[in-house]
C-alpha cells in the first residue's frame, strides 16, 4: 500500500465460502493532505491515493497481483477492504524474520512475472515498486500491491511522468530510494517500463543485501558492491 505502517491488516474469515481473508484498514486520523501552495487543481490527500490503489487492484486479475475479495468500505472513521489472506508485507518479513535464499529466488521470479503482466498485458506502469508494496500471503506467495502511483500507457511503452517534488510530503509520493532517476529530471514528461525495471533492480539488491538503510552514508558507499 502507500505506506504499510498506516494500513493495518488483520485476519478474517469468509464463512459463506469457507475461505481465509485479510482486511486492510486505514484510520482516517492518519490522513495527510497536500499543502495548499501546490494549487487547488492538484489538491489531494492520502485517502485519495488509497482509494485509487484499491480501484486499480480491483481491476487487475493475475496470480501475482494481490486479489481484492471485498470492495472498499468508506466511513468517517476509516477505509477498509478485504483481500486474500496476507501474512505480512515483504519489508516486515525481511526485517523481522529474514528469508531463505530459495524463497528469495522464487519471490523475485514471481515479482518479475507480475511486472511482465502489468507492462505487456495491462499496459500499466507500477511506479512505486518497493518492499512495502509487496505482500507475502499465508501460503508464502509474493503478490504485488501498492498501486497508488500506477499509470496507464499513453502510447506503447510510454507512460505519464509526474516528477518527484519537495513541495509534497514524501508519503504522498513514490519512495525516493527505489525511484528511477528519470523522475528527478527537470521537465520530464514521460517514462518507459524501464522505470519499473530500475525499481525492481534496487528492490532485488535490497532483498539480498539484508535490509539496506539508504539514508545511511556508509550503506550508500557499500551499495555498489552488490552489483559486482
Q: What is the mean pLDDT of residues 189-202?
A: 97
CA 113 to CA 104: how far, in whole Å?
14
Q: Which residue has the cell 488483520?
A: 10
Q: Is the pLDDT of residue 227 over 60?
A: no
Domains of the chain and CATH, by start: 4-227 (1.10.510.10)
The mean-pLDDT minimum among 16-30, 98-112, 181-195 falls in 16-30
Q: What is the mean pLDDT of residues 112-133?
A: 97
Q: What is the mean pLDDT of residues 49-54?
A: 95
Nearest to 171, CA basis, from 24, 17, 35, 20: 35
Q: What is the mean pLDDT of residues 111-129?
A: 98
For 225, other C-beta atoms within 10 Å of its C-beta total 9
Question: What average pLDDT does the structure give for the chain?
Answer: 85
What is the helix (H) or strand (E) element at residue 219, kind and residue range?
helix 217-222
Quote the pLDDT of residue 160: 95
- Are the C-beta atoms of residues 148 and 2 closer than 8 Å to each other? yes
Amino acid at each position: 500500500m502507500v505506506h504499510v505502517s498506516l494500513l493495518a491488516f488483520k485476519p478474517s474469515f469468509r464463512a459463506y465460502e469457507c475461505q481465509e481473508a485479510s482486511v486492510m484498514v486505514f484510520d482516517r486520523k492518519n490522513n495527510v493532505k497536500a499543502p495548499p501552495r501546490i494549487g487547488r487543481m492538484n489538491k489531494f490527500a492520502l485517502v485519495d491515493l488509497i482509494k485509487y490503489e484499491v480501484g486499480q487492484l480491483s481491476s487487475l486479475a493475475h496470480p501475482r497481483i494481490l486479489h481484492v475479495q471485498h470492495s472498499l468500505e468508506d466511513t468517517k472513521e476509516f477505509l477498509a477492504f478485504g483481500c486474500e489472506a496476507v501474512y505480512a508485507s515483504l519489508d516486515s518479513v525481511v526485517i523481522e524474520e529474514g528469508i531463505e535464499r530459495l524463497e528469495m529466488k522464487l519471490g523475485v521470479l514471481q515479482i518479475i512475472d507480475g511486472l511482465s503482466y502489468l507492462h505487456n498485458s495491462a499496459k500499466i506502469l507500477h511506479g512505486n515498486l518497493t518492499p512495502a508494496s509487496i505482500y507475502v500471503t499465508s501460503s508464502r506467495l509474493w503478490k504485488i500491491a501498492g498501486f497508488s502511483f500506477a499509470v496507464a500507457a499513453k502510447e506503447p511503452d510510454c507512460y505519464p511522468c509526474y516528477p518527484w517534488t519537495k513541495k509534497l510530503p514524501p508519503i504522498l509520493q513514490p519512495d525516493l530510494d527505489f525511484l528511477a532517476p528519470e523522475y528527478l529530471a527537470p521537465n520530464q514528461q514521460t517514462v518507459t517500463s524501464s522505470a519499473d525495471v530500475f525499481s525492481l533492480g534496487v528492490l532485488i539488491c535490497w532483498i539480498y543485501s539484508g535490509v539496506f538503510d539508504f539514508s545511511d552514508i556508509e550503506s550508500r558507499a557499500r551499495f555498489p558492491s552488490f552489483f559486482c
